[in-house]
Structure 1
Amino acid sequence: MKNKVILKVKNLNKKFKNSTILESINFDVFQGETLGIVGPSGCGKSTFGKILLLLLHPDSGEIIYEDKNIFKYSKKEVLEFRKDIQMVLQDPYLSLNPKKTIGWHLNQPLDILNYSKDEKMEKIISMMELVGLSKDYLTKYPNQLSGGQKQRVLILTSLLINPKIIVLDESVSALDISVQAQILNLLIDIQKRLNLTYIFISHDIDVIRYMCDRVISLENGKVTYL
């Protein structure tokens, strides 16, 4: 249902020192779509992603989710919101703790759901097939996995608590071209199966055009539609 607004960004502004990163940003995100955000390095793409995940606070403006400004959430509402929105980070080589097994990584997001140990494992194993991984990977360490396999782990980690929105921040840029295509097609398949909404942040216009239903460009702190 791509005509229902799931997220509304209104007059968002952010400065660092004397530099304007985001200036009067306005746009809607529709349920079930992939919205692309493209622009050169330093244009504010990742800053917006961090603001959306409440890792940064804007100087002014609103992001409306389920009829409420997320910047006015209570602590309890913040926790609930963070279940609904997850992020897949840029570099799978840096995003996983090399001293911990894949099973350990996949258990972490489920801690907030108060699952038992058996419930966690049942949930993890049931969803591993979704990203093309077998349960044999649970005992492996990150250095035993390829870049594409690590990215599949990160994608699975973001899916385990059943989010509605996933922010993908340059999430294939560290991968070889052939592996990029595999991961992009995997993401498209997952979105269809789980009815997810994607916000896809990238500097690569070709990747953006392949993935996205709509595209906005951020440049000099302002939005234009492509």
Structure 2
Amino acid sequence: MSALLEVRNISRSFRTTLAVNDVSFSVREGELVGLMGPNGAGKSTLFNLIAGVLPPSAGEIVYDGRTVTGWKAHDMARVGIARTFQIPKPYRQLSVIENVMLSAFLREKSIVGARKVAAATLDDVGLADFAESPASSLTVGLLKRLEVARALAMRPKLVLFDEIMAGLTPTEVGSMTSFVAQLPSRGITVIWVEHVLYAIMKTATRMIVINRGKQIAEGTPAMMARDPAVVKAYLGEEIAIA
């Protein structure tokens, strides 16, 4: 598999704070990669750089064979990069399906087509029963699912999931984990930040760990669970994967 995304020596400063410091990695088409690190490690900032929300202070981003460094978020979306946010930001005055239709319009030119894509996506993430409900009526857990639906309705090649399990019940976590695990088979490459460790570490094929803006480790989930630098920075103790 070829590299879909290459992050080359990316850094991002906020005044005197170096939030992302010389991070480099690549993601192949069809991978499901976990991105881990303690709170404040720079994970969300790194997502913002890849998604075009922020420009890097230094470094280069190559996506699907072309340099996209400094592209705006709408340009990244058009070439196939979608993301979710830790704090859902739906249009609360609109219905659930209308929120998803807005994302679907990136590829669909008709209301009928956008509604069809939105309805199928809501069914995928378990929100079909809430399609006509106002977004303002959803619980935190359901809003997280709406975030996933909004991203996937854009029909991305690469999706960045930022803590999509927060607020979900254990049963919902299980079903969402199974759903995310099969996305690569549908042609969607995934980079996933998640604090529900058992979900991401049983699902990801590879993990990238950052701490204080620096990449400190990379490897399989089992390797990361035993890596002294990862244990010290984040896990606190070795954990069982099986």
Normalising TM by the smaller chain, what interval?
A: 0.7 to 0.9
The equivalent of 1:27 in structure 2 is 25
RMSD of aligned residue pairs (Cα, Å) = 2.2
The equivalent of 2:111 in structure 1 is 117
Question: What is the CA-CA distance between 1:79 and the residue it aligns to?
Answer: 4.2
User: Counterparts of 1:58-207 in structure 2 under 5 Å?
Assistant: 58-71=56-69, 73=71, 79-83=74-78, 84-91=80-87, 94-113=88-107, 115-134=109-128, 136-192=129-185, 194-207=186-199
Query: Structure 2 length normalisation: TM-score?
Result: 0.80
Question: What is the CA-CA distance between 1:66 and the residue it aligns to?
Answer: 2.2
CA contact (8 A) 1:37 1:199 kept: yes
CA contact (8 A) 1:88 1:155 kept: yes
CA contact (8 A) 1:90 1:174 kept: no
More helix by share: 1
Gaps of 5+ in 2: 219-223, 225-242
| Deviations 1:167-212 (CA, angstroms, capped at 9, x unpaired) | 00111123233322221122223443x1211001134433331221
Query: Structure 1 length normalisation: TM-score?
Result: 0.85
Give the whole-Å Cα distance in 2 for the aligned partners of 1:72 and 1:23: 17
The equivalent of 1:211 in structure 2 is 203
CA contact (8 A) 1:9 1:63 kept: yes
Larger relative contact order (C-alpha < 8 A, sep ≥ 6)?
A: 1
Instruction: Figure out how many residues of one structure are paired with residues of the other and give that number.
Output: 217
Give the whole-Å Cα distance in 2 for the aligned partners of 1:62 and 1:150: 33
Question: What is the CA-CA distance between 1:114 and the residue it aligns to?
Answer: 5.5
Which of 95-104 and 206-215 deviates more? Answer: 95-104
Give the whole-Å Cα distance in 1 for the aligned partners of 2:10 and 2:98: 37
Question: What is the CA-CA distance between 1:80 and the residue it aligns to?
Answer: 4.9
4+ aligned runs moved over 6 Å, structure 1: none
SS in 1 for 2:106: helix
Check 1:98–1:10 CA distance in 2 against 1; reply closer, same or farther (3 A cut): same
Identity %: 22
